[in-house]
Amino acid sequence: MEPASWTHTTVLLNEAVDALLAMEGGSDSHTRDGTFVDATFGRGGHSRLILSRLSQRGRLIAFDKDAEAVAVAASIGDPRFSIRHQGFASLGELPSGGIAGVLMDLGVSSPQIDNPARGFSFRFEGPLDMRMDTTRGQSAAQWLATAEARQIAEVIREYGEERFAGQIAKAIVARRQASGPVATTTELAELVAGAVKTREPGQNPATRTFQALRIYVNAELEELQQALEACLNVLQPGGRLVVISFHSLEDRIVKQFIAKHSREVYDRRVPFAPPQAVKLRALGRLKPGDAEVAANPRARSAVMRVAERTAA
């Protein structure tokens, strides 16, 4: 059991499930048939609500890289539900055209952030791990122990949009050479605080660096691109794609993906060939309301985008 302080409040819970389960043309149903996907199970907030609104013929497939999330999913004793210990890039393994809707919540769950052993937060002393799947791959500390200053700066600049990336990278390498690699979250946070010359109001100076390392260690943006492309193949006509993003890099990828596939594309090399058909219909963008943000401050940066697979 996770401590009560690690509980997770699902962002845009009802809005996301309403958008996912709405029928083609906008009509809603509270007992949907079909197979749906919760691509990021987390602690199961979306999954449980989806299951409550599926018919007995409905099915829900969930994905999560985090073994702790998979363990939580095991407590759902519903024959319509299954969980896969995989990242959502594995969506492409599902049957082509067999899915009625895909939901992706790209946020890190509160239990992951609040558990010091996971190393996601500068607020708690813990090992600098940051892996979503702790059974494989390289931790943030392991990568920082060998990466060159140029590589570190590039990651922090690209994935954290941090203007002091160069100074932070030099500080990390200098510390490594002087007294050994950075091993804990607080060590890194203190190094960053010393390298960042000006602070954004209300934001810890380490925020952007921690975001960048988490994205890099988990290949989050690459996996998102793969998962979105897979959705074009697995969604049936009228199937919904619902994505909740929490920072501008993710939201930009989702926005551009939907925009790209919501218009006809002409091949300039073959001017008389028919255009590539429209594959998605953009259905809108939604942010949490003031009441939700007040009740759950982690919702403040969330953006939900919805699209529908066309018959093309």
Q: Classify residue 44 by its DSSP letter.
A: S
Indicate if 242 and 274 belong to the same structural domain: yes
**Three-state DSSP class for 195?**
helix
Burial environment of residue 130 by CB neighbours within 10 A (0 to 12, 13 to 18, 19 or more): buried
Indicate if 14 and 96 belong to the same structural domain: yes
Predicted confidence band at 117 (pLDDT cuts at 50, 70, 90)?
confident
Count of structural domains within the chain: 2
CA distance linking residue 144 with residue 136, whole number of Å: 17
CA distance linking residue 102 with residue 37, whole number of Å: 5
Q: What would the two tokens of residue 151 be?
A: 């590589």
Predicted confidence band at 6 (pLDDT cuts at 50, 70, 90)?
very low
Indicate if 103 and 34 belong to the same structural domain: yes
CA distance linking residue 21 with residue 229, whole number of Å: 21
pLDDT at 248 exceeding the cut of 90: yes
Q: What would the two tokens of residue 117 be?
A: 């052993």
Predicted confidence band at 4 (pLDDT cuts at 50, 70, 90)?
very low
> Which residue range(s) make up the domain with 176?
134-217
How many CB atoms sit inside 10 A of residue 90's CB?
17
Residue that finishes a domain, picked among 217, 250, 279: 217
Indicate if 44 and 192 belong to the same structural domain: no
Residue that finishes a domain, picked among 197, 217, 237: 217
Answer yes or no: is 128 within a domain: no
Indicate if 243 and 286 belong to the same structural domain: yes
Helix (H) or strand (E) holding 286: strand 280-286
Indicate if 226 and 281 belong to the same structural domain: yes
Indicate if 143 and 104 belong to the same structural domain: no
Indicate if 167 and 196 belong to the same structural domain: yes
Answer yes or no: is 117 within a domain: no
CATH of the domain at 174: 1.10.150.170
* Residue % of the chain over a pLDDT of 90: 74
Sign of the Cα pseudo-torsion (136, 161, 123, 107, in order): negative
CA distance linking residue 56 with residue 160, whole number of Å: 44
How many CB atoms sit inside 10 A of residue 179's CB?
9
Predicted confidence band at 272 (pLDDT cuts at 50, 70, 90)?
low
Residue that finishes a domain, picked among 162, 184, 217: 217
3-state SS of 54-75 is ECCCCEEEEECCCHHHHHHHCC
Answer yes or no: is 1 within a domain: no
Answer yes or no: is 93 within a domain: yes
Sign of the Cα pseudo-torsion (287, 99, 68, 122, in order): negative
Q: Read off the pLDDT of each residue in 285-291 and give the average, rounded to a whole number.
A: 95
Predicted confidence band at 217 (pLDDT cuts at 50, 70, 90)?
very high
Indicate if 12 and 106 belong to the same structural domain: yes
Indicate if 224 and 241 belong to the same structural domain: yes
Answer yes or no: is 120 within a domain: no
- Average pLDDT taken over every residue of the chain: 90
pLDDT digits (tens, 9 = 90+) for 50-102: 999 999 999 999 999 989 899 999 999 999 999 999 999 999 999 999 999 99
What is residue 291's predicted lDDT score, i.e. its pLDDT? 93
Q: Which candidate, 116, 87, 85, 91, places its Cα nearest to that of 36? A: 91
Indicate if 232 and 290 belong to the same structural domain: yes
What is residue 297's predicted lDDT score, i.e. its pLDDT? 86
CATH of the domain at 228: 3.40.50.150
Q: Read off the pLDDT of each residue in 132-155 and give the average, rounded to a whole number.
A: 95
Answer yes or no: is 288 within a domain: yes
pLDDT at 7 exceeding the cut of 80: no
Answer yes or no: is 119 within a domain: no
What is residue 25's predicted lDDT score, i.e. its pLDDT? 47
Pairing of strands 59-63, 81-84: parallel
Answer yes or no: is 151 within a domain: yes
Indicate if 79 and 12 belong to the same structural domain: yes
Complete edge-to-edge strand list for the sheet that includes strand 59-63: 81-84, 59-63, 35-38, 99-105, 235-245, 303-309, 280-286
